[in-house]
Amino acid sequence: MSIQRQEIEAIREGFSKSGYICNTHIATAIFLAQKLQKPILVEGPPGVGKTELAKATAEFLSLPLIRLQCYEGLDESKALYEWKYGKQLLYTQVLKEKLGDLMEGAEGLTESLARLHDFDDTFFSEDFLEPRPLLKALWEENGSVLLIDEIDKSDDEFEAFLLELLSDYQISIPELGTIKARSAPIVFLTSNNSRELGDALKRRCIHLYIPFPESELEQKIIAARVPEIDEGLRKQLVAFVQGLRGEDLKKHPAVSETIDWARTLLLLHANELDADLVRNTLNILLKFQDDIENIDGELNALVSKARGA
Amino acid sequence: MTQMLGNFIRALRASDVRVSISESIDAGRTAELVGFEDREILKSALSQVLAKTDEEEFAFNSVFDRYFSFEKIRSPAANDGAPEDENQDDNASDNTSEEDDSSESDESESQGQGGPPGSGGGAGGQSEKSENASEQEAQASPDLLELLERGDTAALQQALAEAGQNARIDRIRLFTQRGMYVRRIMEDMGLEGLEMEIERATDKDEDRVVYIRGLRDGLREQVRDYVERQLDLYTANAGQQLREEVLSRVRLTNVDRRDMRLMQGLVRKMAKRLVALNSRRRKKDIRGALNFRKTIRRNIAHDGIMFDIHWKQKKIDRPKLVAICDVSGSVSSYAHFLLMFLYSLQEVLPKVRAFAFSGELGEVTDLFKTQDLETAIGETLKIYGSGSTDYGRAFEELERTVLDDIDHRTTVIILGDGRSNNADPRADILKVVHARAKRVLWLNPEPKSMWGTGDSEMKSLAAYCDSAATCTSLKDLERVVSDILRKG
């Protein structure tokens, strides 16, 4: 086993200790991101653990997780920094009163101005800066994990604005100049593909696509997340969910739904799947009434197939 | 290593994976980092760095398997055989300036790897070749014969790969080049020596002659296979790209039936590109709710006096579209493509209403929403395509059913040749439409010089169009539609 593989396996095991079960492909991405110091763009259907991956990484590396949720209209004042206007105004008031004292003894306009100039920059210094997630991540002394969630929901302009941060780990604040990261953060961007991301952004990132997990992996995930559940039932329920993903549905059940369902079955003290039980709890797995109605006809077949697994 | 990766990236590009320079640098660093020993990890790692969409990942997987499966055979001996190449820098630049295959002259210096100096390189340099061959005769030929006799496939594969690299097989572009490459590789591997051996044995030992000939032909077979595979690898999509390029310029009426499928893919591709370009066109409104924070922030420089006011509202501008297609025999193939195009664009243009007419006018919007494209188009042509064209009747119908729905946001596209079979075209209705709609565009497959001749009413109809243009190829169509999206 090569050294690289050992390192990657170590990441995978570290993740599984904190309850995030993944395959080598995902662990490789984390390994690369650390070594190449590049952000990871995580894509995949909703509910496969894109956000969880960032959380697990933060836990594994014991770094603080800083999260920025994107939405339409998000701008730099919410993502990067804001000036503390109230404080600035208050200080101006205070300064006004002190202005007389300050100017005492100053001869002529030039000298007064020179004295004022000494105060100029105080208003736009770090004391008056309110850091938002991105700036916070750059300011962390020992590095951090920065999660930029659902980047596809943000506007084009914001995406473009991120480019400087993603490639050089620095940002520009007009009043202060360029701020460099004290220690490069590990950046995760997640996307549900609600719109095509720009090439420039993709080029700067390691691209990781997380699909629905295969049966074996999903069983491991359930075993880690819902350890109380009986092994036989676990096999059946995973087989059933895997079967559902083969059907034509508006929205296929994701891992998070499988976990919820496993917890539900546990609560109901179920020992094995049967059609009635599934029918009654199907709304945990399927989120559209259309889907539930469509699948009803095939429910018996799916259940018996899952029981055979 | 770098050479190998460079060729791999070139093969990827040939399969439609877009790899930028910075990404190929990343790939180099990644390969260095994870090493070549563990295939699975190498594959994962490279795919994450190089493939950025689903389709690209798919292409990546197939190229990776084809490319590195071969590398695997030769790997046991490759490490001590080929010296690590010193001119990495050359190779790095080599990867980037790759578009042109004819630039062999500047390439020959960057191939220090493996084989004897001066081999390969020149495309037609006959003198160079003979010199090269004679040089090899001394060393390579006994090896080759020996290898063949021993049946040492691993060593043969390695020799083949080296010869392939010396012959710059990665530059192969056309299938007609196969013969040349086969010859070049054979020569590089020491064909001359084999021939000499045959000659030497000719009079003395007929059996041996036959034997060696058999070996030689077997080898040629293998080399040909190898060249085929490489051709496949490096030119995977080149043929298709060329055809697509040609097709997009060809007159739509002249598109062959057998190219229809390709054409459909092409239309979809163009539509997707337009969607990507325009999916989030929006403009800031100049009234609405005040964006207080932003306003304060912007005006702090003015001591809080509000010079520069910002509003919260943003308007997403999405045009409404009414498409009216003449589907009578003469223009039906154009209508075919226009409809195809518009429906591929539904993501950006949610409000498309499509009408078809020859005599009778009817709405086909629902048909296209429920049926797949082919069926819908076939159906449309069947229902509306039979009558003789009558613009007057069609416009009357239009006035009755759709006019209320046309407003200042609507763009009306009319596709037709404007030949109304001498019936009154009712230009007055078009005038009303023009007054209400944002824009009226007329696409005419006939060239401008034909307008107004015979029963063509284009002259009078064009007066009420914001723009009337000739539209004969997919490129034209794309231009018009992109224009609509841009101007909203």
Per-residue pLDDT at B314: 63
Residue A46: pLDDT band by 50, 70, 90 thresholds?
confident
Per-residue pLDDT at B317: 56
Question: Which of A2, A199, A208 lies at the smallest CB-CB distance from B48?
Answer: A208
First to last CA, chain A: 34
Distance CA A57, CA A52 (A): 8
Domain A3-73+138-209 has CATH 3.40.50.300: yes
Most B CBs within 10 A among A199, A206, A210, A212, hence the mutation to make, goes to A206
Cβ atoms of B470 and B444 closer than 8 Å? yes
More confident residue, B238 or A218: A218
Per-residue pLDDT at A40: 94
Per-residue pLDDT at B99: 41
CB of A229 within 8 Å of a chain B CB? The answer is no
Listed by start position, the domains of chain B span 2-94+123-238, 289-316, 317-487
Instruction: Give the Cβ contact number of residue A231 at 10 Å.
Output: 9
Q: How far is A1 from chain B (nearest CA, A)?
A: 8
Regions of chain B short of the pLDDT cut 50: 71-141
Per-residue pLDDT at B287: 64
Q: Give the pair of three-digit tokens for residue A260.
A: 């919820």
Residues of chain A positioned with their CB less than 8 A from the CB of B52: 41, 202-203, 205, 207
CB of A88 within 8 Å of a chain B CB? The answer is yes
Residues of chain B positioned with their CB less than 8 A from the CB of A204: 22
Cβ atoms of B423 and B395 closer than 8 Å? no
Question: Which of B23, B33, B35 lies at the smallest CB-CB distance from A203?
Answer: B23
Helix axes A3-17, A24-36, angle to 10 degrees: 110
Distance CA B245, CA B102 (A): 21
Per-residue pLDDT at B13: 85
Instruction: Indicate the burial class of A93 (C-beta count within 10 angstroms; 0-12, 13-18, 19 or more).
Output: exposed
Distance CA A194, CA B172 (A): 40
Instruction: Give, in order, the Cα–Cα distances in Å from A197 to each of A39, A40, A170, A302, B143.
Output: 15, 14, 21, 37, 55
Instruction: Give, in order, the Cα–Cα distances in Å from A78 to each of B20, B42, B254.
Output: 32, 39, 56
B-chain residue closest to A30, CA distance: B45
| Interface touch B280/A77, C-beta < 8 Å | no
Q: Where are the alpha helices (DSSP H) in B35-53?
A: 39-50
Listed by start position, the domains of chain A span 3-73+138-209, 81-128, 215-308
Percent helix, strand, coil in chain B, to 5, is: 65, 10, 30
For B317-487, CATH gives 3.40.50.410
Distance CA A213, CA A194 (A): 21
Beta pairing class for B439-444 and A186-191: unpaired
Q: What is the DSSP letter of B389?
A: P
Per-residue pLDDT at A41: 93
Per-residue pLDDT at B315: 59
| pLDDT single digits (tens) A96-133 | 787 777 777 777 788 877 777 776 667 777 888 888 99
More confident residue, A190 or B457: A190
* Percent of chain A whose pLDDT exceeds 70: 98
Most B CBs within 10 A among A32, A90, A201, hence the mutation to make, goes to A32
CB of A82 within 8 Å of a chain B CB? The answer is yes
Side-chain-side CA neighbours of A158 within 13 Å: the count stands at 23
Distance CA B345, CA B339 (A): 10
More confident residue, A188 or B408: A188
3-state SS assignment for residue B438: coil
Instruction: Indicate the burial class of B422 (C-beta count within 10 angstroms; 0-12, 13-18, 19 or more).
Output: exposed
The distance between the two most distant Cα atoms of chain A, rounded to a whole number of Å, is: 96
- What is the mean predicted confidence (pLDDT) over A193-204? 81
Distance CA A295, CA A240 (A): 12
Residues of chain A positioned with their CB less than 8 A from the CB of B19: none
A-chain residue closest to B299, CA distance: A85
CB pairs under 8 A between A and B: 76
Per-residue pLDDT at A206: 92
Answer positive or negative: Cα dihedral of B77, B82, B88, B91.
negative
B-chain residue closest to A43, CA distance: B53
Q: How far is A195 from chain B (nearest CA, A)?
A: 8
Answer positive or negative: Cα dihedral of B110, B112, B114, B115.
positive
Strands in B467-470's sheet, in edge-to-edge order, are B361-363, B351-357, B320-326, B410-415, B439-444, B467-470
CB of A144 within 8 Å of a chain B CB? The answer is no
Per-residue pLDDT at B285: 56
Q: Which helix (H) or strand (E) holds B410?
A: strand B410-415
Per-residue pLDDT at B388: 77
| pLDDT single digits (tens) A246-285 | 887 878 899 989 999 999 999 998 888 888 888 889 888 8
| Interface touch B280/A156, C-beta < 8 Å | yes
Cross-strand partners of A128: none
Beta pairing class for A206-209 and B282-284: unpaired
